[in-house]
Chains A and B, each alone.
Chain A
Amino acid sequence: MTSYPILTILIFLPLAGCLCLAPVWSRRAAVRPIALGFAVAELALAGWLLVTAPGMPTAPGAPAGYFLWEDAAWIERFGIRYLLGMDGISLLMGALTAFITVVAMAVSWRAVTERTALHYFLILLMESGIMGVFLALDLVLFYLFWEVMLIPMFFLIGIWGHGRRIYSAVKFFLYTLAGSLLMLLAIIGVYLIHGDATGTYTFALPLLAKAPIAHAAAPWLFGAFLLAFAIKFPLFPVHTWLPDAHTDAPTAGSVILAALLLKTGAYGLVRFGYPLFPEAARGFTPLLSVLAVVGILYASWIAYAQEDMKRMVAYSSVGHMGFVALGIASWSPVALSGSILQMVNHGVTTGALFALVGMLDERTDTRELAAYGGVWGKAPKLAFFFLLFAMASAGLPGLNNFTGEFLILAGVFRTTPAAAAIAFIGIVLPLIYTVRLVQEVLFQTERQPLQLPDVTLREGALLAVLALIGVSIGVHPKPLLDILKVPVALLTGTAP
C-alpha cells in the first residue's frame, strides 16, 4: 500500500518519545503530556491500521497473510536481518499494546509523583520493546526485543512497587532471563541445524519455517523455546514469579504485566514455537494440555484462598492464561482463534481489574479483602465497573471473556475432549472466587470506615472505554475473528 516504514515507526515512535522526555526531565508538568502524546499518537496509528489493514493485500515479498512487511540487512555475517511483518495476529496484539500503554499512563497519572520522567520513560521504552516482539520475524531481532522489554519492567516494579518490591523485581528478572537465555541457545541451534541441512544460514522465520527441523535435537530445541514462553505465560509450575511481581508492582506495572507481557509468551508460542517445530510441538501437546489444565484448576483454587485483591486477580490471570495455552495446544483453527481472542480479552479485562484494584488501593491504602465492604453504597460507579469486569473475568456470557473461552473449549472438545471436560470445571471455578471477591468488597457491610470518593472523570472515562470494548467484543466478536481468520488458517494449515 504505502512505502512508509509503518512497522518501524510503530516500534520506534515510543522510543522517540523517550528521547523527547530528556530535555524536560525534571518538569513533571511537561513530562506527562509529552509521554501521553506519544502514546496516543501510537494508538492512533495502531487504530488506523486496525481499521484499514484487514482489507489490504499481501505485501510484496511477504509470505501469505502478511500485509505489512519490512526487510533489511542487519548483521549479514550471521544472516540476521531486520525483518518485520504484520499479519492479523500481530495487528491485534500491536493494537492491544498501544491501547494498554495509554491505559497504563492514564491510571498512573496521579499515582506517580516521584521520578515521573523516569516512569514515563520506562513505559514508553517498554512499549517499544513489546511492539518489537509482536512485529519481529527474525529470531535474533525477536530475542533482542524480548530482552529489552524486561528491563523497564524490572525498574517499574523495583522503584515504584510496594512491599517486597526489590525481591519481586529481581525474581521476575532472573526467572524470565534464565528461560530466555536457554531460548537463545535454541535459536542458535535452530540456525545451525537449519543451515547445515539447507545451506542457507538464516534467522528469518519464514525461511526457517519452510523447512522445519527434522533433527533428533528438535524436541530439545522446542523444549527450550517452550520453557522461555511458559515462564512468560506463565504456565504451572513456572508461574511462581507472577503473584509476587503483580502484587508488588505499581498499578501501571501490573496493568502492562498482565495485559501485555504475559501475551508475549503465548504469542511467541504461536508465532515461533509451533511453526518452527511442528513435529516436536505435537509431541509436547499432551504435556502442554496437562500443564494448562492443572494451571487452570490450581490457579482458581489458590485464588480463592487469597486475602489480597491484587494477588487474587494475579492468580486469576494464571487461570485465564491456562485457557489460552490449552487452545494453543489443540492447534485447531477454532481453538487457536479463541486463544488469540482470549489474549485480547484477558488484556482488557484483567488490565481493567488491576486498574480498579489500583484505584481502590490509592484511595484506602489497602488491598486486603477484609478491609473492604460496602463499596457499592459509597462509590456506586466504581462498584459498577468493578462488578462488570469481575463478571467478565469470570466468563459471564455476553461479556468478552466468554467468547474466547467458548471458542477455546469448542475447539478443544474436537481434539482432546478429556482436557476440555476438565477445563470446563475451570470455567465454573472462577465464578466462586469472583463471587467471593465481589461479595466481600462491594456488598459486605462496611467493616472499616473507609474514605472512598467515587471515580474521577479521568478514571471514569478510562473505565468506560475499557467497558465498552469488553462489552462489544462480548456481543460482537466477529470483526476481530475476521482479522484472525486468515493467519490462523495459514498457521494451522487449513487454508483453502
Chain B
Amino acid sequence: METIAIPAINFAPIMPEVILSIFAMVLLLVNVFVPSEHKAYLGYLSLVGLIVAGFTLIGGWGVPLSAFNDSVVRDNFSIFFKGIFLLTVGMSILISDQYFKREECNLGELYPLLLFATVGMMLMASGTDLMTIFLGLEVLSVSLYILAGFNRANVKSNEAGLKYFLLGAFSTGFLLYGMALTYGATGTTRVVKIAEYVSQNGVVAQNPMFVIGMLLMAVGFSFKIAAAPFHMWTPDVYEGAPTPMTAFMSAGPKAAGFAAFMRVAIIAFPSLKADWSDLLWILAVLTMTIGNLIALNQDNIKRMLAYSSIAHAGYALVGFTAGNAEGTAGILFYMLSYAFMNIGAFAIIVLVGKKGEANNNVMDYAGFGTKHPVLALAMAVFLFSLAGMPPTAGFIGKFYLFSGAIKAGYVWLAIIGVLNSAASVYYYLRVMVYMYMKDPVEEFDWMKLTPAVAICIIIAVVGVLLPGVVPAFLLNLAQQAVLL
C-alpha cells in the first residue's frame, strides 16, 4: 500500500492564531454557562487571550520562519501587522461592554467572533499562498458580517450586516476569480512561486489570463480596503454597525487588507511594479479625493469618520504607489497610528452616544468641551492626529508616506495628498467647533465613564502622542518590517 508522507508540522509561525482559536472556542463554550449580567468577564478572558497571543508574537521578531509547505510565514512584516490587529481588537473589546449593555444586546457571541476575526486577519497577514490569504479573508469576513449586524433589534445594524454581506461576498467573487486566473497563468498559488514564474517568463505580462487575474485581484483587494471607486459599501456599513464594531472595522480589517494586498503586489509581482504603480496612483487620488469631499458635508459623525477612513486608505495608497522602503514602512506606521487615533475617536463616540444609536450627530457635540474638558481634549487630540497636525502620530505617518512618494518621484501625488489633507481639516475642525464653540442645545445626561473605556482612551492618547514626539522606536520597527 502506498503511504502518504506527512510532512513535519511546525506550529510556531501560527502560534498566535492557534491560541486565539482555542480561546475563541473555549469562550463559546463558557458563554453558555455565564449568566448574562456577567458576560463582561468573557471580555476579560478574551483580553487575556490577546495578551498571551501577543507574547508569542514577540519572540518571532527577526527570526523568519515558514511552515505548512510555505503557505504561511512568520516574518517581521506579519508580526508588525499582527501587533496592530491585537491592539485593534483589544481596544474594541474595551469599549464594547458599555456600548452593548446600553443597547441591550447579548454580548456572549461577540468575543469569540472578534477573536475569530483576528485569526482571519492574522492569516491574511502571514499567508504566503493565495489559498491561505483567501481563507484568512473569509474567516475575517464571515465574522465581520455577523459583527456588523450584531445589534439585531436595530434596523440600521441589520442593513449594515446585510449590505456588508452582499457586497463582501460579491467582492470575494472577484478576488477569487482573479486568484483562479493567476493560478491558471502561473500554475501555482504560492506567492513566491508566482514571483519566480513572473521573473522567468517576462512575456507573462502579455498573457491576458494573467493580466485579467491581476486586475481582478486588485479589484477584490480594493473592495476590502475600501478604495474608491469600490468604497460604496463603507459609509452605510460603518454608520449602521454597532459603534465599537465600526471602530474595529475601520482599523483592523483595513490593515489586514493592506497586508495581503502588499504581500501579493510586492512579492508576487515585483517586476511589474510600474504597471501596479499606475493603477495605484489612480486609486490613491480617487480614494483620497472622494473620501474627503463627501466627508465635508456629513452630519453623522460615524458616517463622517467612515468617509475619512476612505480618505486615510487613500493616504496609505500614496505610500503603496511609491513602493519604496519609506512608502511601505509608512503604511505600516500609518496603519498602527490610525488604529490608535480612530479607535480613540470611536471610544468617545461610544460615550457620547445614546441608546438606539442616537446622539451621533456632529451637532450633538455642542458644549462637550465645557462639560467634559478632559474627554473633549482627548477627542481633540484624536481629531488633530487624524488631520495630520504635529506633534501627533498622524503627522509622522503622513510625513513618512509623503516623503516616500516624493522620493519615488511622485511629487504630484504628494501635492494632491497634501491638499486633500488640508481639505480634510475642515470637517475635523467642525467637530471641534461644536465641541468648544457652541453652546449645548439641551441639557444632556451623557455617559458613565467605565474604567474599561477610560483605559482604552488612555491607550489611544498615549499611542497618538508618544509616537508623535518620540517616533524613533516605532519607525525602526516599521523599517525592519518592510517586505522589500
Interface residues of B in 358-379 (CB under 8 A from A): 370, 373
Interface residues of A in 15-69 (CB under 8 A from B): 25
Q: CA–CA, A471 to B427, complex, Å?
A: 47
Is A75 part of the binding interface, using a Cβ–Cβ cutoff of 8 Å? yes
Q: CA–CA, A181 to B415, complex, Å?
A: 9
| CB nearest to A183 among chain B residues | B418
Is A110 part of the binding interface, using a Cβ–Cβ cutoff of 8 Å? no
With beta carbons under 8 angstroms apart, the residue of B390, B406, B436, B475 that contacts A144 is B390
- Proximity string of chain B (412-441) to chain A, C-beta cutoff 8 Å, 1 when within and 0 when not: 001100110110011001001100110000
* B390 CB contacts on chain A under 8 angstroms: 143-144, 147-148
Q: CA–CA, A155 to B376, complex, Å?
A: 13
Q: CA–CA, A430 to B476, complex, Å?
A: 57
Is B389 part of the binding interface, using a Cβ–Cβ cutoff of 8 Å? yes
Is A365 part of the binding interface, using a Cβ–Cβ cutoff of 8 Å? no
With beta carbons under 8 angstroms apart, the residue of A147, A166, A191 that contacts B437 is A166
- Proximity string of chain A (70-82) to chain B, C-beta cutoff 8 Å, 1 when within and 0 when not: 0000111110000
Is B472 part of the binding interface, using a Cβ–Cβ cutoff of 8 Å? yes
- With contact pairs A75-B472, A148-B390, A185-B415 given, residues A174 and B403 touching in the complex (Cβ less than 8 Å): no
Q: CA–CA, A76 to B395, complex, Å?
A: 17
Cβ distance A23 to chain B, nearest Cβ, rounded Å: 13
Q: Are B437 and A185 in contact (CB under 8 A)?
A: no
Is A178 part of the binding interface, using a Cβ–Cβ cutoff of 8 Å? yes
Cβ distance B420 to chain A, nearest Cβ, rounded Å: 10
Q: CA–CA, A159 to B422, complex, Å?
A: 22
Q: Are A174 and B422 in contact (CB under 8 A)?
A: yes
- Proximity string of chain B (468-482) to chain A, C-beta cutoff 8 Å, 1 when within and 0 when not: 001110011001000
Is A402 part of the binding interface, using a Cβ–Cβ cutoff of 8 Å? no
Is B258 part of the binding interface, using a Cβ–Cβ cutoff of 8 Å? no
With beta carbons under 8 angstroms apart, the residue of B403, B415, B437 that contacts A192 is B403
- With contact pairs A77-B476, A159-B437, A173-B429 given, residues A188 and B406 touching in the complex (Cβ less than 8 Å): yes
Q: Are B406 and A189 in contact (CB under 8 A)?
A: yes
Q: Are A77 and B403 in contact (CB under 8 A)?
A: no
Q: CA–CA, A174 to B427, complex, Å?
A: 11
- With contact pairs A148-B391, A154-B429, A158-B433 given, residues A178 and B406 touching in the complex (Cβ less than 8 Å): no
Is A169 part of the binding interface, using a Cβ–Cβ cutoff of 8 Å? yes
Q: CA–CA, A241 to B302, complex, Å?
A: 31
Q: CA–CA, A358 to B354, complex, Å?
A: 43
Q: CA–CA, A25 to B372, complex, Å?
A: 12
- Proximity string of chain A (245-263) to chain B, C-beta cutoff 8 Å, 1 when within and 0 when not: 0000000000000000000
Cβ distance B288 to chain A, nearest Cβ, rounded Å: 13
Is A209 part of the binding interface, using a Cβ–Cβ cutoff of 8 Å? no
Q: Are A25 and B373 in contact (CB under 8 A)?
A: yes
Cβ distance A200 to chain B, nearest Cβ, rounded Å: 16
- With contact pairs A188-B402, A192-B407 given, residues A181 and B422 touching in the complex (Cβ less than 8 Å): yes
* B407 CB contacts on chain A under 8 angstroms: 192
Q: CA–CA, A143 to B390, complex, Å?
A: 8
Q: CA–CA, A156 to B419, complex, Å?
A: 25
Q: Are B475 and A174 in contact (CB under 8 A)?
A: no
Is B384 part of the binding interface, using a Cβ–Cβ cutoff of 8 Å? yes
- Proximity string of chain A (139-182) to chain B, C-beta cutoff 8 Å, 1 when within and 0 when not: 01001100110110011001100000110011001100110011
**Chain A facing B: main interface SS:** helix
Q: Are A144 and B399 in contact (CB under 8 A)?
A: no
Q: Are B384 and A151 in contact (CB under 8 A)?
A: yes
Q: Are B384 and A182 in contact (CB under 8 A)?
A: no
* A25 CB contacts on chain B under 8 angstroms: 373
* A181 CB contacts on chain B under 8 angstroms: 418-419, 421-422
Is A436 part of the binding interface, using a Cβ–Cβ cutoff of 8 Å? no
Is A115 part of the binding interface, using a Cβ–Cβ cutoff of 8 Å? yes
- With contact pairs A170-B426, A181-B421 given, residues A158 and B437 touching in the complex (Cβ less than 8 Å): yes
With beta carbons under 8 angstroms apart, the residue of B411, B419, B429, B436 that contacts A159 is B436
Q: Are A192 and B433 in contact (CB under 8 A)?
A: no
Q: Are B475 and A77 in contact (CB under 8 A)?
A: yes
* A106 CB contacts on chain B under 8 angstroms: none
Q: CA–CA, A269 to B237, complex, Å?
A: 48
* B433 CB contacts on chain A under 8 angstroms: 158, 166, 169-170
- Proximity string of chain B (455-476) to chain A, C-beta cutoff 8 Å, 1 when within and 0 when not: 0000000000000001110011
Cβ distance B469 to chain A, nearest Cβ, rounded Å: 9
Cβ distance B34 to chain A, nearest Cβ, rounded Å: 41
Cβ distance B120 to chain A, nearest Cβ, rounded Å: 33
* B429 CB contacts on chain A under 8 angstroms: 154, 170, 173-174
Q: CA–CA, A181 to B395, complex, Å?
A: 11
Interface residues of B in 94-144 (CB under 8 A from A): none
Is A410 part of the binding interface, using a Cβ–Cβ cutoff of 8 Å? no
With beta carbons under 8 angstroms apart, the residue of A115, A144, A154, A173 that contacts B391 is A144
Q: Are B437 and A165 in contact (CB under 8 A)?
A: yes
| CB nearest to A189 among chain B residues | B406
Q: Which of B390, B415, B479 has the most A CB atoms < 10 Å from its CB?
A: B390
* A144 CB contacts on chain B under 8 angstroms: 390-391, 395
Is A455 part of the binding interface, using a Cβ–Cβ cutoff of 8 Å? no
* B475 CB contacts on chain A under 8 angstroms: 75, 77-78
* A150 CB contacts on chain B under 8 angstroms: 389
Is A357 part of the binding interface, using a Cβ–Cβ cutoff of 8 Å? no
* A154 CB contacts on chain B under 8 angstroms: 429
Interface residues of B in 392-410 (CB under 8 A from A): 395-396, 399, 402-403, 406-407
Q: Are B389 and A147 in contact (CB under 8 A)?
A: yes
Is A184 part of the binding interface, using a Cβ–Cβ cutoff of 8 Å? yes
Q: CA–CA, A120 to B433, complex, Å?
A: 19
* A75 CB contacts on chain B under 8 angstroms: 396, 471-472, 475
Cβ distance B376 to chain A, nearest Cβ, rounded Å: 10
| CB nearest to B329 among chain A residues | A77
Cβ distance A244 to chain B, nearest Cβ, rounded Å: 15
Q: CA–CA, A199 to B71, complex, Å?
A: 41
Q: Are A182 and B391 in contact (CB under 8 A)?
A: no
| CB nearest to A140 among chain B residues | B399
Cβ distance A474 to chain B, nearest Cβ, rounded Å: 39
* B396 CB contacts on chain A under 8 angstroms: 75
Q: CA–CA, A118 to B391, complex, Å?
A: 20
Q: Are A185 and B391 in contact (CB under 8 A)?
A: no
Q: CA–CA, A177 to B432, complex, Å?
A: 16
- With contact pairs A159-B436, A178-B422 given, residues A188 and B389 touching in the complex (Cβ less than 8 Å): no
Q: Are B472 and A76 in contact (CB under 8 A)?
A: yes
* A159 CB contacts on chain B under 8 angstroms: 436-437
* B395 CB contacts on chain A under 8 angstroms: 144, 147
Cβ distance A128 to chain B, nearest Cβ, rounded Å: 11
Q: CA–CA, A144 to B391, complex, Å?
A: 6
Interface residues of B in 319-338 (CB under 8 A from A): none
Q: CA–CA, A159 to B425, complex, Å?
A: 18
| CB nearest to B370 among chain A residues | A115
With beta carbons under 8 angstroms apart, the residue of B373, B402, B436 that contacts A158 is B436
* A118 CB contacts on chain B under 8 angstroms: 373
Q: Are A77 and B479 in contact (CB under 8 A)?
A: yes
* B402 CB contacts on chain A under 8 angstroms: 184-185, 188
Q: Are B419 and A184 in contact (CB under 8 A)?
A: no
Interface residues of A in 177-225 (CB under 8 A from B): 177-178, 181-182, 184-185, 188-189, 191-192
Binding site for B on A (CB under 8 A): 25, 74-78, 115, 118, 140, 143-144, 147-148, 150-151, 154-155, 158-159, 165-166, 169-170, 173-174, 177-178, 181-182, 184-185, 188-189, 191-192
What 10 new A-B contacts, CB under 8 Å, besides A178-B419, A181-B422? A74-B472, A76-B472, A78-B403, A154-B429, A173-B429, A181-B418, A184-B402, A185-B415, A185-B418, A189-B406
Binding site for A on B (CB under 8 A): 370, 373, 384, 389-391, 395-396, 399, 402-403, 406-407, 411, 414-415, 418-419, 421-422, 425-426, 429, 432-433, 436-437, 470-472, 475-476, 479
- Closest CB pairs A-B (n = 4): A144-B390, A158-B437, A178-B422, A181-B418
The 6 listed contacts between A and B (C-beta, < 8 Å) are: A75-B472, A140-B399, A144-B390, A159-B436, A177-B425, A184-B399
